[in-house]
């Protein structure tokens, strides 16, 4: 699953209602990806047809839902979300808002359809929403959208085990991660003392494209 962070004005009312801008359209992020208008429509309709509410988390902690998103809609600028915090979590989450710890929202999604632009960037034309989190990650001044993975940093894997664990973290199944690791990982290329700058960028790009391809093949 992919994550995207948006620094935005998120408002929390006394009654536990949350209103915010979850994801902008046509804005290039640090992974050279953007979201096209209409990319959320099928997913929004699917959640409604199932009679389920999109989960609300804090910092993508899916072991502790704090509420749900009751109204999701695409506007001219992007995805707007209105949610409600459950009564048992309002004091905690409300405190984060009052202290200005919450800086924005981050969507959790799986790519469904996309196109590769002439400059090599990727435009998502359809995505499957899995959750929207209230996030406390530091945002870059002036930035509209950032990736949580970029904020957290990227550790270069040194062993096959590290690489397999990384693949699982970004959404590959255990079998897929083991197959990719056994056929494509070379520890010699990531030896101690090697300059990691180009390796990290190249590995990030390859993992992202591999993940897109892997998701596309899933039924």
How high is the pLDDT of residue 130? Answer: 92
Summary mean pLDDT of the chain: 73
Asked whether residue 199 is domain-assigned, the answer is yes
**pTM confidence score:** 0.61
Boundary residue ending a domain (108, 132, 150): 150
| CA 218 to centroid of chain Cα atoms | 19
Percent of the chain at pLDDT > 90 equals 21
Statement to judge: residues 123 and 21 lie in one domain:
yes
Boundary residue ending a domain (126, 150, 174): 150
Percent of the chain at pLDDT > 70 equals 63
pLDDT tens-digit series, residues 61-114: 888 899 999 999 999 888 988 889 998 888 888 888 788 777 788 888 888 999
pLDDT tens-digit series, residues 127-159: 999 999 888 763 322 222 222 233 334 455 667
Statement to judge: residues 114 and 198 lie in one domain:
no
Statement to judge: residues 110 and 204 lie in one domain:
no
Asked whether residue 6 is domain-assigned, the answer is yes
Beta bridge partners of 124: 35, 114
Asked whether residue 120 is domain-assigned, the answer is yes
pLDDT tens-digit series, residues 171-217: 566 777 787 777 665 554 544 444 444 545 455 555 555 555 444 44
| Integer Rg of the chain from CA | 18
**Please, what sign has the CA dihedral across residues 93, 96, 98, 102?**
negative
Q: Please choose, from the candidates 138, 168, 169, 161, the residue with its C-alpha nearest in 3D space to the C-alpha of residue 151.
A: 138
Statement to judge: residues 21 and 104 lie in one domain:
yes
Asked whether residue 113 is domain-assigned, the answer is yes
Give the CA diameter of the chain.
57
Q: Could you identify the residue written with the tokens 């992202």?
A: 208
| CA 87 to centroid of chain Cα atoms | 26
Statement to judge: residues 109 and 174 lie in one domain:
no
Statement to judge: residues 85 and 172 lie in one domain:
no
Range(s) of the domain holding residue 184: 160-217
Statement to judge: residues 129 and 165 lie in one domain:
no
Statement to judge: residues 174 and 110 lie in one domain:
no
Pairing status of strand 54-58 against strand 122-135: parallel
Q: Please choose, from the candidates 118, 149, 109, 125, the residue with its C-alpha nearest in 3D space to the C-alpha of residue 34.
A: 125
**Rounded distance between C-alpha atoms, residue 109 and residue 148, angstroms:** 13
Number of domains in the chain: 2
Asked whether residue 155 is domain-assigned, the answer is no
DSSP SS3 for 59: coil
How high is the pLDDT of residue 66? Answer: 92
Q: What is the mean pLDDT of residues 47-74?
A: 92
How high is the pLDDT of residue 94? Answer: 81
Asked whether residue 167 is domain-assigned, the answer is yes
Statement to judge: residues 103 and 211 lie in one domain:
no
């Amino acid at each position: 699953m992919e994550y995207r962070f948006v620094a935005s004005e998120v408002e929390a009312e006394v009654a536990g209602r949350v209103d915010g801008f979850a994801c902008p359209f046509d804005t290039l992020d640090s992974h050279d990806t953007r979201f096209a208008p209409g990319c959320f429509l099928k997913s929004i309709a699917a959640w409604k047809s199932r009679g389920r509410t999109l989960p609300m988390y804090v910092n993508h902690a899916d072991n502790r839902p704090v509420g749900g998103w009751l109204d999701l809609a695409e506007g001219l600028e992007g995805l707007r979300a209105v949610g409600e915090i459950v009564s048992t979590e309002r004091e905690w989450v409300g405190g984060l808002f009052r202290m200005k710890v919450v800086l924005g929202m981050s969507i959790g999604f799986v790519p469904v359809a996309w196109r590769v632009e002439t400059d090599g960037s990727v435009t998502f034309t359809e995505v499957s929403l899995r959750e929207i989190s209230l996030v406390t990650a530091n945002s870059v001044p002036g930035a509209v959208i950032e990736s949580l993975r970029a904020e957290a940093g990227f550790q270069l894997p040194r062993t096959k085990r590290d690489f397999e664990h990384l693949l699982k973290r970004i959404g590959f199944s255990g079998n897929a991660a083991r197959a990719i690791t056994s056929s494509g990982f070379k520890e010699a290329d990531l030896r101690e003392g090697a300059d990691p700058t180009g390796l990290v960028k190249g590995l990030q790009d390859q993992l992202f494209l591999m993940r897109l391809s892997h998701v596309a093949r899933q039924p």
